[in-house]
Structures are given as C-alpha cells and as structure tokens.
Structure 1
Amino acid sequence: MRHLSLAVIIAIFGGGGVVAQQPQFFNTVDGSPLNFDDAMEEGRDTEAVKEFLETGVNIYNENEEVMKEAEDIYNTMCSGCHGHYGEGKIGPGLNDDYWTYPQNETDVGLFSTLYGGATGQMGPMWGSLTLDEMLLAMAWVRHLYTGEPDTAGWLTPEQQEEFTPYKPKGGAEE
C-alpha cells in the first residue's frame, strides 16, 4: 500500500516538481474574467508582458533601467488623480499599505484594476495604455511605496533587502 501511495504522489506531482499555475485576471468591480483581446496590439509581445502573463511577476519592479520611462508614464496617465507621489488626490493614495481594493497588494490585482478599471472615475486603461506601459506604470507605483520593505509583497526577497521606502525630493521631510 505504501508503494502505491508513493506512485500516486509521483504521478500527481510529475516526479516531485510542482507546476506553477498561470495567474488569473479578474475585473476589480464585478469579478468577471478579463479579456485581453481588447488590449492594443502594440506592447503585447515584450519580455515583461510575456513573463507577467505567465507568472504574475513584473520584471520592471525596481529595475533602474526603466524607471525614467515608468515615471513619465505614471506622471502622464496617473498623477492627475493619484498625485505625483502616489499620495492621492481625487483618486486614492497608492504609496502606502492601505488599498481601496485589497487585491492591489499583488501585481496581478493591480494590473487587473488598471486594465479593467474600478469604481468612480477610474476607467479601464486597455484603450489608453499598452500592456507593457501598464507594467511600467505599476513599477513606478511600487517604487513610490513608503511602507516597510517586508510588507512589499510584490518585491522579491532580494529586492526587499535593498528597498528603501520612497521619500519625495525637496520636501519638508529632508
């Protein structure tokens, strides 16, 4: 009986390796599955988008090579409602530990909110930003985080060790 159980376990887990499941993306408001057919063709085939749709990991997070572009996209598309430092204006703050939608604590959740929209004035971004630009905007939002690194679940353990909470330049805090 013991050998049979071991054989069943090996068959189920494919010899010991557990296969990671692709992330699932759902509309933040109504919970329906998101349809990426509506997304712009441009920006679908980048390494970052392919990795993200397969694993839910945003390789742009804390990637210095893309931070200027990420900041520019955020400032153009997001800061009018969420503030230049993610502090919140007519839209909620994005730089602390409180999330209007708790699923936004994960990059899959935040991407779903960007792509499909939320309540109030936050419409879907699939017609305004490419999938790649959404990942860049998210990376800047994550960069603006003012909380403790160990609560930044979107960062890898290595990134958490190196992460410094964001402080606006030139502010009264300096």
Structure 2
Amino acid sequence: MVSGLAGLTAILVCAAYAQTSGVTFHNTVTGETLNFDDALPEGRDTDGVKKFMQTGANPYNEDPSCLKKGEQIFLSACSGCHGHLGEGKIGPGLNDDYWTYPENETDVGLFSTIFGGAKASMGPQYQNLKLDEMLLVMAWVRHLYKDDVKHATWLTEAQKTAYKPYKHDETFPDNSPGLCAGK
C-alpha cells in the first residue's frame, strides 16, 4: 500500500509541476497535451525532473555525473535504432544539426518525442523509461552533438564556451560531482 501511495504522490507532484510551470508538453505527431499519468511511477520526483518540469531546460546537460548514466541507458534503450553514436540507423541521427522534428532542438521537444513517441518505429517510451532516465538519455544525446556549438540551443552560454565535442574513446569516472552523484 505504501508503494501505491508513493506512486500516487509522485504522479501528483509531476502533474503539479507540469501545470504550474508554464511549460507545456505536446505529442510530437498529434499535438495533443501529454498525460504524465501513464508514466512509470519511479523517477518522477527527482530534483532533475522537478527542475525540468519548472523550466523546460534539462539540468543534466553537460553534467559529468549524469553523462555516464545517460550513455548506459542510451546504449541499451536507443542505440539499436539511432546508432551507438547517435549517427542514425533505422531511426534518424541525433548528433547533428538536422532534426526530423524541429521542436527536438529544444529540451521540451526532445522530451516530448521520447515520452510520447513519433512516426514510424519510434513508439512512446513512457512505459520503458522513467522520467529521470529520459532526461539522462537526453543529456547523452546532447553530448554526442558534433556540429557547430552555436546551433546547440539547449546549452547555456557558459556551457557553449566550455563545450568540447564528444570523442569516441571518452570515458567518465563513476564519482564525478554533480546532480547525479550518488544515484
């Protein structure tokens, strides 16, 4: 019973943030407002999800403590279609300036596509990935970006200044400080 109550609390927290933040999430294909009630109950009330629901900016972008986790989730859940480096296979490439859905240039747009799905084989991921895992995957996808950083609208100006393109042999320590440390 406690887990049911915890799940309900998490749903209410997520819905409250989405409603009061001014950030609106729409299905990439239909334009309908996304319903977070269907999302997995775990991973809804992390600090990262709370910040994202309030601001629409992924707080995990370029956070070294989050990138290793994002990479691991991406490799197991996304690389089969999008390639190990986001170069595209069955699904479109994710590491360059071209977005099949232009709204994916924003964090809200990319999150909405992951959560609610898109055309062709990209089904909704709300029953496969926790909301927090979606943000981790997004941070990894953004880190794989290989084109001109001036087009990386998801990065802050400070992040653009410090940005270094992904290198294929790049690794991240398990104990990097940041928002995902200790998870």
TM-score category (smaller protein) = 0.7 to 0.9
The equivalent residue for 2:57 is 57
The equivalent residue for 1:147 is 147
- After superposition, the CA RMSD in angstroms is 1.4
How far did 1:165 drift?
A: 2.1
How far did 1:169 drift?
A: 3.2
CA distance in 2, matches of 1:167, 1:101: 26
Larger radius of gyration: 1
CA distance in 2, matches of 1:147, 1:22: 31
Q: Which stretch shows the higher mean deviation, 161-170 or 30-39?
A: 161-170
The equivalent residue for 2:173 is none
The equivalent residue for 1:115 is 115
SS at match of 1:25: coil
**What does 1:19-38 align with in structure 2 at a 5 Å threshold?**
22-38=22-38
The equivalent residue for 1:9 is none
**What does 1:53-132 align with in structure 2 at a 5 Å threshold?**
53-132=53-132
The equivalent residue for 1:44 is 44
Over 3 Å off, 4+ runs:
none
CA distance in 1, matches of 2:167, 2:118: 28
Whether the aligned pair in 1 keeps the contact of 2:38 and 2:126 (CA below 8 Å) is yes
CA distance in 2, matches of 1:99, 1:121: 16
Whether the aligned pair in 2 keeps the contact of 1:148 and 1:165 (CA below 8 Å) is no
**What does 1:6-25 align with in structure 2 at a 5 Å threshold?**
22-25=22-25
Alignment TM-score, normalising by the size of structure 1: 0.84
Whether the aligned pair in 2 keeps the contact of 1:146 and 1:167 (CA below 8 Å) is no
Structure 1: runs of 5 or more not aligned: 1-19
Whether the aligned pair in 1 keeps the contact of 2:21 and 2:53 (CA below 8 Å) is no
The equivalent residue for 2:17 is none
Q: How many residues align?
A: 151
The equivalent residue for 2:158 is 158
Give the aligned residue type for 2:91: G
Give the aligned residue type for 2:154: W
Give the aligned residue type for 2:31: G
How far did 1:21 drift?
A: 5.7
SS at match of 1:90: coil
Alignment TM-score, normalising by the size of structure 2: 0.80
CA distance in 1, matches of 2:84, 2:155: 22
**C-alpha deviations, 1:54-74, integer Å up to 9, x for none?**
110111100001111110000
CA distance in 2, matches of 1:68, 1:168: 13
Whether the aligned pair in 1 keeps the contact of 2:52 and 2:59 (CA below 8 Å) is yes
CA distance in 1, matches of 2:32, 2:106: 18
